[in-house]
Amino acid sequence: MANPKQLPDSIYSPEQLEACQMELEQYLGWRRRQDTRKKVGATTKAAEPFLLSPEMSDLLGMTEDAAMLSTGELEAWQTRLADWLKKPVVHLTFAVPPTVGIKADMVKWFRKEISPDILVRFSINRNIIGGLVVRTTGRIYDFSFRKQFLAHQNLIPEILHRV
């Protein structure tokens, strides 16, 4: 089981956490129903097995069977997920859709250099041409090519004259 105090790098965005939260709630409901069936010795046909998503399995640190966890532990995970959702979020905007590798590198860098629980939300804006725009709750760090162009836009008339 992974360290429950730290998010895996595969789960980095609030949307993923919310999806995990919803999935965990559904799984917990399923588990409670199963436990009730066992208690009462139900003979009717059991429900289909609940298959956790890879992200959820990765989060819970179980690759095969989540049934090892008790409902109490699952409820503790619910609380943990709710706490993680309160962690700081940084928005990264690229000119083109970032690759999985770039995303992973970015998440690793932010969790290593800034905060181990930070959440990262990726978005795309072609108008920035290239580079990166980092937005936190209160500030915007514009490392985009557009910003660089605008910073040197006084060169455009000179270049036009030269041309």
Partner 1 sequence: MSSYQLILIVIAALTLINLATLGWVALLQKKLRQDNQAVSSTQKDLNQLKQEAHNVMLAETLIELESSANQSIQGIFDKAAAEFTTSLQKASAQITEQMQTGASQLVQQELEQYKETLGNLREAASGALGQINDALEKQKATLTADLEVEVKKQQQVLIEKFENKISDVVSAYLVESLGNDVDLGAQSQYLFKMLEEHKGELKQEILGGEPEATTG
The residues binding partner 1 (CB under 8 A) are 88, 90, 94-99, 101-102, 105, 109, 113-115, 118, 126-127, 129-134, 136-143, 145-147, 149-150, 153-154, 156-157
Is-contact 124 93, C-beta < 8 A? yes
CB of residue 125 vs partner 1: minimum separation in angstroms? Answer: 10
C-beta of 51 vs 159, nearer to partner 1: 159
Residues paired with residue 131 on neighbouring β-strands, in sequence order: 144
Q: Please identify which residue in the block is written with the tokens 């069936």.
A: 37
Between 62 and 134, CB nearer to partner 1: 134
Shortest distance in whole angstroms from residue 15 CB to partner 1: 19
38 vs 126 by CB, closer to partner 1: 126
Measuring CA to CA, which residue among 123, 136, 111, 135 is closest to residue 9? 111
Assess contact for 135 and 91: CB atoms under 8 A. yes
Q: Where are the beta strands (DSSP E) in the chain?
A: 89-94, 119-124, 131-135, 140-144
| Min dist. Cβ of residue 145 to partner 1 (A) | 8
Tell the smallest beta-carbon distance from residue 156 to partner 1 (Å): 5
